[in-house]
Chain A
Amino acid sequence: MKKQWIQDFRAIPFLLPFFIAYMIFTIFPIFKGLEMSLYDWTLVRKIEFVGLENYTKMFTDRHFWRTLWNTTFFVILTTPTMVLLALGLALLSNLNTKFKTFFRSSFFIPSILSVSVISFLMIFMLQPYNGLVNNIIQMIGIDAEPKWMADQGLAWVTIVVVTLWWTVGFNMILFLAGLQDIPHSLYEASEIDGASRWDMFKYITLPQLIPIGRVILLLQVLASYKVFAQILLITGGGPGGATRPLIQYIYEVGFNQNNLGYAATMSYALFFILLILSIIQLKSQRSGEN
């Protein structure tokens, strides 16, 4: 009994550094943010208690709903495509070919680049008149000058494609790990039973990948709801606010309009959306396991 107590006590010094940092930089701001959302709070802390006024304002704020929809639209576009693409690439790089290492590294490399690097790379390639992409389009004989960043529809295509290209590598690695965890004996047994390759994929590979698939789905939804930097850098939320995500609006309200209280309120709205989505997903996972 006493031994266990000493054991626990000795863990404290090792846990403490992280615990302190975590309290100061994560837990404390969460509660501070809740407090701020109840005040009229500016950058220089002129504070006036306004109760739930920020919250009622939020429900009638068109820009909140518009930017929340933009973010949700981004999630709807990227999540399924991300899961399918990551799965496809993982299957491709799991094949026993000469190019196995080449596939794995080339799919993963974009993930190690920073958001500013990938954004400027894309702006450079997609710019009209002398960008690489438009030049190729014209070279193959199509007489068009698509505005990849200035046309409402194309701006979304650009952002989704850039995000997929940039982040698919990490999800591919997760799927790849899942693929390699599937016991080989399952395939051997099914081969003896005369299963085709498609049967093996359908009845062994896919079901075995469901747990990791759920993890990827959850991570992807959470990450996509936090989308901000690549949109800010590539389209600036434009054209005319058409791709402006919620976090950019929060940022503008907080730091350009000097209204941190309301910015905190909207951050809380986003927090609750993510919390609810996570709970739903974890619940469905549990019922799935049962």
Chain B
Amino acid sequence: MRKGFSVFIGVVFVALILAACSGNSDSAGNDVEIPEGATEVVMWNLFSGGDAEYMNDIVTEFNDSQEEYFVNNVQQEYEEYYTKLLTSVGSGKGPDLAIAHSHVLPELVTQGLVTNINDYAEDAGLNWDEFNQNVLDVTVYDGNNYAVPIDTHPEIMFINNNLVDEAGLLNDDGTPDFEKTPEGFVEFLTSLKESLPEDKMPFAFSSVGEDPYRIWWALYNQMGGENIVSGDMENPTYALDHEKATKAAKYLYDLYHTHEAIPLDLADFYSDFQSGNAALITTGVWATGIWETTEDLDFTPMPFPNIFGQDAAWASSHTFVLPYYDDADEDAQKGAVEFMKFATDNGADWARAGHIPAKDTVLESDEFKDMPYRSEYAEVANYVKYVDRTVHARGIQDIVVRNLDKYWAGDAAAEEVFSMIEQEVTDLIAE
């Protein structure tokens, strides 16, 4: 009897397991209610913090504005976002609409993971002429539009008005008083250092990672340097101008080591500026949205100064893409492009996060002009320099950042660092 019973228990147990495995997961995966008759457009986004909030507001606004489509906004973890996007679109299980950074577009386009949206855009009345052409260009491949730019987010400079004023370096019009030359900027920083109290720093900035790389990129481009690699997206050739690259890196190196304007290895340079302990910071425009809600922080944003002659700034863009599927749901795709139009038309909402909206028509609107701070740096959109258009963009960035870190830390000479970069990048693109 007991034997029979335990066999029975075993069988029941297996049945339960099998049932659990095959059970449908609708209830777990989807907690939004799609309105009757509306086509669902699943959108993946990579935002967090303020960005996520503002994007969510735009989605809600869109969903309330019409009844045909319903955008289901799914927030994904940024760290693994592209891995997830590439694999799921590749296996036909991805979203109808996704957000991607401009530097990842070459990977998506060459692997056939995104749809050419020319026709849809025409149907939706999306007018490419309304966009800032410098920004729009980053989404055009072989004359076709593969993405809709939402914004551009360059690395810019912020000053703490009180501290710069205290040091006697603020003009009457609120701009910092320095000559836009390599020496002028250094002089400005050293006078700041001399005049500021001991516990305040002239320039809060990271000495590792992507931030110094971005300023290096801006300086390199200001000198007329253009690429790290150039030519074919999949098989590019190495094109870094070592003379300019070294000169740009040395300039930044001196700010850390020779002039000691930037303290080395700050753990959190954001909070140093935010708490009013630094006269200057360079970081992305997205900080505007954070600084402006910080109490007692009197600041002015401005483009990172052009000190080497040519206007240039590091930037990336958030863009909308339409993932490619053999059996794509055309209605959902239409809805996705409708949403792209809606979101870019309402770029002023997105500008709340600090980003520069991609449409010139938005930049010219009163709604945008009435927003504080944004207009101070909106012009940067006209001369942002995106990273090279190649499928290796992310790999190249890893290499350059890692090697530059050695230089900032004082562990290797600039010439050594760039010959390492040359070797590693050449190896990477040879694959």
A-chain residues with CB within 8 Å of residue B11 when the two chains form the complex = 13
Most buried by A among B91, B403, B431: B431
Contacts of B3 in A (CB 8 A): 6, 10
Residues from chain B with a CB closer than 8 A to the CB of A151 are 409
How far is it, in angstroms, between the C-alpha of A237 and the C-alpha of B406 when the chains are bound? 12
- Decide if A13 touches B13 in the complex (CB within 8 Å): yes
A123 x B267 contact (CB < 8 A): yes
List A237-268 residues whose CB lies under 8 Å from chain B.
237-242, 244, 252, 255-259
A151 nearest in chain B by CB position:
B409
Q: B-facing mask of A1-34, CB < 8 A → 1, else 0? A: 0000010001011101100100000000000000
Q: Given A6-B3, A17-B17, A151-B409, check contact A237 B402 (CB 8 Å).
A: yes
On whether the beta carbons of A147 and B398 are closer than 8 Å, the reply is no
Of A6, A131, A252, which is within 8 A of B398 by CB? A252
In the assembled complex, B58 has its CB within 8 A of some CB on chain A: no
Look across to chain A and name the residue whose beta carbon is closest to the beta carbon of B80: A255
Q: Is the CB of A147 within 8 A of B89?
A: no
- Is B265 touching A128 in the complex (CB atoms < 8 A)? yes
A55 vs B51: C-alpha distance in the bound complex, in angstroms? 43
Taking A44-B89, A127-B267 as contacts, is the C-beta distance between A12 and B111 under 8 angstroms? Answer: no
Q: Mark B391-428, 1 if CB is under 8 A from A, else 0.
A: 11011001000110111010110000000000010001
Contact A241 B406 (CB under 8 A): yes
Partner of A240, one of B7, B87, B266, B409: B409
Q: Chain B residues with Cβ under 8 A from A131's Cβ?
A: 267
B residues less than 8 Å from A256 (CB atoms): 394-395, 398
**Binary contact track B79-105/A, C-beta < 8 Å → 1, others 0:** 000110011011100000000000000
Cβ–Cβ < 8 Å partners of A252 in chain B: 395, 398
Let me know if B263 is at the binding interface, CB within 8 A: yes
Q: Which residues of A contact B403 (CB under 8 A)?
A: 240-241
Chain B interface mostly helix, strand, loop or mixed?
A: helix
Are the CB atoms of B111 and A16 closer together than 8 Å?
no
Using Cβ atoms and an 8 Å threshold, which residues of chain A touch B86? 43-44, 258
Query: Is the Cβ of B111 less than 8 Å from the Cβ of A241?
Result: no
Instruction: Give the distance to chain A from B246, nearest Cβ to Cβ, in Å.
Output: 16
Residues of chain A within 8 A (CB-CB) of B431 are 259
- Whether A42 contacts B111 in the complex (CB less than 8 A), given A150-B208, A240-B411, A255-B83, comes out as yes
A149 contacts the other chain (Cβ, under 8 Å)? yes
- Give the residue name and chain of the A residue nearest to B11 (CB): A13
Residues of B near A241 (CB, < 8 A) are: 402-403, 405-406
Residue A129 CB within 8 A of the other chain: yes
Does chain B have a CB within 8 A of A197?
A: no
Q: Which of B13, B91, B395 makes the CB contact (< 8 A) with A14?
A: B13
- Flag if B395 contacts A240 (CB, 8 Å): no
With an 8 Å Cβ cutoff, the count of chain A residues facing the other chain is 40
CB proximity of A127 to chain B, nearest CB, Å: 3
Encode contact with A along B109-131: 1 for CB under 8 Å, 0 otherwise: 00101000000000000000000
**Cβ A10 vs Cβ B6 within 8 A:** yes
Instruction: Give bound CA distance, A123 to B111, whole Å.
Output: 39
A257 touching B406, Cβ below 8 Å: no
Contacts of A128 in B (CB 8 A): 263-267
- When each residue 93-131 of chain A gets 1 if its CB lies under 8 Å from chain B and 0 otherwise, what string results? 000000000000000000000000000000110011111
Most interface-central of A43, A149, A150, A258 (chain B CB within 10 A): A43
Q: A286 at interface (Cβ–Cβ under 8 A)?
A: no
Residues on A with C-beta less than 8 A from B10 are 10, 12-14
Which A residues lie within 8 Å of B28 (CB)? none
**B428 contacts across to A, CB distance below 8 A:** 257
Known: A129-B266, A150-B264. A240 touches B412 (CB 8 A): yes
Check: A46 CB closer than 8 A to any chain B CB. Answer: yes
A4, chain B: closest CB distance, angstroms: 13
CB of B207 within 8 A of CB of A150, answer: yes
User: Which chain B residues numbered 70 to 86 have a C-beta less than 8 Å away from chain A?
Assistant: 82-83, 86
Shortest CB-to-CB span from B210 to chain A, Å, is 11
Cα of A45 to Cα of B93 in the assembled complex, Å: 14
Counting CB contacts under 8 A, is A152 at the interface? yes
Q: Which of B1-33 contact A (CB under 8 A)?
A: 3, 6-7, 10-11, 13-14, 17
- Whether B289 sits at the interface, judged by CB under 8 Å, is no
Residues of chain B with a CB closer than 8 A to A239's CB: 208, 405-406, 409, 411
B388 interface contact, C-beta 8 A:
no
Please give me the residue from chain A that is nearest to B209 by CB atom: A236
Contacts of B406 in A (CB 8 A): 239-242
CB B386 to nearest CB in A, in angstroms, measures: 18
- On whether the beta carbons of A150 and B6 are closer than 8 Å, the reply is no
Q: Which residue of B lies closest to A262 (CB)?
A: B431
- Within 186-241 of A, Cβ neighbours of B (below 8 Å) are at 236-241
Residue in contact with A238 in the complex, picked from B83, B208, B266, CB distance below 8 Å: B208
Q: Is the CB of A10 within 8 A of B7?
A: yes
Give CA–CA (A18, B208) in the complex, Å: 45
Closest-by-CB residue of A relative to B10 is A13
Q: Does B107 sit at the interface, judged by CB under 8 A?
A: yes
For this complex, 21 residue pairs linking A to B, each with C-beta atoms less than 8 Å apart, are A10-B10, A43-B83, A44-B89, A44-B90, A45-B90, A124-B267, A129-B266, A150-B207, A151-B409, A152-B409, A238-B409, A240-B411, A240-B412, A241-B402, A241-B403, A242-B406, A252-B395, A255-B83, A256-B394, A258-B86, A259-B431
List residues of chain B with CB under 8 Å of any chain A CB: 3, 6-7, 10-11, 13-14, 17, 82-83, 86-87, 89-91, 107, 111, 113, 207-209, 263-268, 391-392, 394-395, 398, 402-403, 405-407, 409, 411-412, 424, 428, 431
Q: A150-B409, A256-B394 are in contact. List 18 more A-B contacts (CB 8 A).
A: A10-B6, A12-B10, A44-B87, A127-B267, A127-B268, A128-B265, A130-B267, A147-B265, A237-B402, A240-B403, A240-B405, A240-B406, A240-B412, A242-B411, A257-B392, A257-B428, A258-B391, A259-B431
- Write the residues of chain A forming the contact surface with B, with a CB cutoff of 8 angstroms: 6, 10, 12-14, 16-17, 20, 42-46, 63, 123-124, 127-131, 147, 149-152, 236-242, 244, 252, 255-259
